[in-house]
Amino acid sequence: MNHAAQYLAEASRIIEMLDTAAIERMAALIEQTRERQGRLFILGVGGSAANASHAVNDFRKIVAIEAYAPTDNVSELTARTNDEGWSTIFAEWLRTSHLRADDLIFVLSVGGGNLEKNISPNLVVALQYAKQVGTPVIGIVGKDGGYTAQVASACVIVPTVNQAHITPHAEAFQAVVWHLLVSHPRLKARETKWESTR
CA atoms 25, 31, 37, 43: torsion sign: positive
pLDDT, tens digit, 9 for 90 and up, residues 49-101: 999 999 999 999 999 999 999 999 999 999 999 999 999 999 999 999 999 99
**What is the C-alpha separation between 187 and 195, in angstroms, rounded?**
16
Displacement of CA 177 from its chain's centroid (Å): 10
pTM: 0.96
Q: Is pLDDT of 192 > 90?
A: no
Average pLDDT over residues 45-52: 97
Does the structural domain 3-190 have CATH classification 3.40.50.10490? yes
Parse the chain into domains and list their residue ranges: 3-190
pLDDT of res. 86: 93
pLDDT, tens digit, 9 for 90 and up, residues 122-131: 999 999 999 9
Q: Is pLDDT of 197 > 80?
A: no
Mean pLDDT of the chain: 96
Neighbour-count burial of 170, counting CB atoms closer than 10 A to its CB (0-12 exposed, 13-18 middle, 19+ buried): buried
